Structure 1
Amino acid sequence: MSDKAPSSSILQVKGLAAAYGKINALNGIDLEVERGQIVTLLGANGAGKTTTLKTISGLVRASAGSVTFDGQDITTLPAHEIARMGLVHVPEGRHILRGLSVRENLELGAFTVHDANLRRQRMDEVFGLFPILKNRQHQDGSLLSGGEQQMLAIGRALMHGPKLLLLDEPSMGLAPKLVLETFKIIKRLNEAGTTILLVEQNARLALKLAHFAYVLESGSLRMQGEAARLRDDPSIVQAYLGT
């Protein structure tokens, strides 16, 4: 049961495999992300979703296969070079730097931006998207609430000016109201032109937000299709998405 994957893509992953020591985490998966879309990657815990994002962004080295981003093979590039190209990863857990203010955390996201005016412009855009961060810009970022830290993590990524944003479990640990607010923000980012590859434990919300979806099981791709079709198929939701 499979639709054809998106074809006008900014990201192409072919036969991607990765391992932790002798343990295979990914077993030759194929996926694409079309420009301007939200593509979600779903599956149970341990299915390989986070490893997929880490391998794409260079944090984990691929043992086989290829990753092509914006027309260039990035399979063997180090993570910092991949980020410079505009593929920006917001990892699970937020990773806000303790001892640095909200503003300083955001400024770190613009480490590749040498134009001071552009850095100021992006800072203003982030503060416009997340007013609470502007109000707390001089506070230690690690002391923010979970929802505020998630805003900061996304804002830090936006300071880079991503062509493709990888989001890993953005709703993890958040209260239901904050989960909905976070998804509204993701939708606004996409509507403003940001292409997104989303890993998310809340399958129902992810499928409601996304255009296309892939389902992983034990490191292998088991299903793919238009998100609306998967969302409306009760047997698929029950069998694969655990919601």
Structure 2
Amino acid sequence: MRSETGDVVLSLKGVSAGYGRITALHGIDLEVRRGEIVTLLGANGAGKTTTLKTISGLVRAQAGSITFEGEELVGRKASAIARMGVVHVPEGRHVLRGLSVRENLELGGFTVHDSKLRGERLEEVFGLFPILQQRQHQDGSLLSGGEQQMLAIGRAMMHGPRVLLLDEPSMGLAPKLVLETMRIVKQLNERGATILLVEQNARLALKLAKYGYVLETGNIRMEGEASDLAKDTAIVRAYLGG
């Protein structure tokens, strides 16, 4: 467990969740501190995506507590959680076909009623991803995989996230684009974003993150400073190909 003090923004305590009669998470404890990147590692089916979906309200917690800046999230609708500032970028990007890049981004700002603020956030997204500005009138579904990932992250930024939940942002991308995506994640963090990252490239995730958790069949099996996990022989064998 983490021993040093810190400003805990997001906390899971004893959280169990699943689908119907199938329990995918078994009483997990996890915390994310302000300004950190925290990574969640594990094999396929370990419960990583379910963890993010449970935090964001897409899956209902069966037991336990999830708090964001001291406020309970369990029982709230996903839309309400997004309005609070906990924003989920799901695996698969989910760019809406038939809508332009700009319309996809504007849809991400549906929780923002101040038109001036929406405009400022749109300019911020275009500043971070110039290619999206260049292609703002193009159908978003016609972008390359890497560009669609930029669009998915940009759409989340339109909410004004205080915590970003990123699920497999590099999945399906060419190696060069994987590095570019991780650079973007680092840049978002340097701009002040707190991030909970699920990423198939464990080696890169541990390089970016401050702290990490290892999930196995819905249980937290290991946790620690990311730099220490990267040196752990069991982690290296299981997830880093060493």
Could you report, residue by residue, the CA deviation over 1:136-181 in whole angstroms, capped at 9, with x for unpaired residues? 0000001111000000000000011000000000000000000000
Distance 2:5 2:165 in 1: 17
Distance 1:183 1:234 in 2: 24
Cross-structure match for 1:233: 232
Cross-structure match for 1:206: 205
Superposed counterparts of 1:1-243, under 5 Å: 3-4=2-3, 7-239=6-238, 241-243=239-241
Structure 1 runs (4+) deviating above 2 angstroms are 2-7, 233-236
* TM-aligned CA distance change 1:160 to 1:154, over 3 Å: same
> Are the counterparts in 1 of residues 206 and 212 from structure 2 also a CA contact under 8 Å?
yes
Distance 2:232 2:2 in 1: 14
Distance 1:101 1:222 in 2: 43
Could you report, residue by residue, the CA deviation over 1:180-229 in whole angstroms, capped at 9, with x for unpaired residues? 00000100000010000000000000000000000000000000000011
SS at match of 2:61: coil
> Are the counterparts in 1 of residues 203 and 240 from structure 2 also a CA contact under 8 Å?
no
Query: Percent identity of the aligned residues?
Result: 72
> Are the counterparts in 2 of residues 110 and 119 from structure 1 also a CA contact under 8 Å?
yes
Distance 1:4 1:23 in 2: 33
Distance 1:28 1:8 in 2: 23
Distance 2:200 2:234 in 1: 18
Could you report, residue by residue, the CA deviation over 1:116-150 in whole angstroms, capped at 9, with x for unpaired residues? 11111111110010010000000000111100000
Uncovered stretches (5+) of structure 1, i.e. residues with no partner: none
Deviation at 1:70, TM superposition (A): 1.4
One-letter amino acid of the structure 1 residue matched with residue 33 of structure 2: E
Deviation at 1:8, TM superposition (A): 1.8
C-alpha RMSD of matched pairs (Å): 1.2
Deviation at 1:23, TM superposition (A): 1.3
SS at match of 2:213: strand
> Are the counterparts in 2 of residues 6 and 32 from structure 1 also a CA contact under 8 Å?
no
> Are the counterparts in 2 of residues 216 and 222 from structure 1 also a CA contact under 8 Å?
yes
Uncovered stretches (5+) of structure 2, i.e. residues with no partner: none
* TM-aligned CA distance change 1:118 to 1:65, over 3 Å: same
Could you report, residue by residue, the CA deviation over 1:61-80 in whole angstroms, capped at 9, with x for unpaired residues? 00011100111001110100
SS at match of 1:63: strand
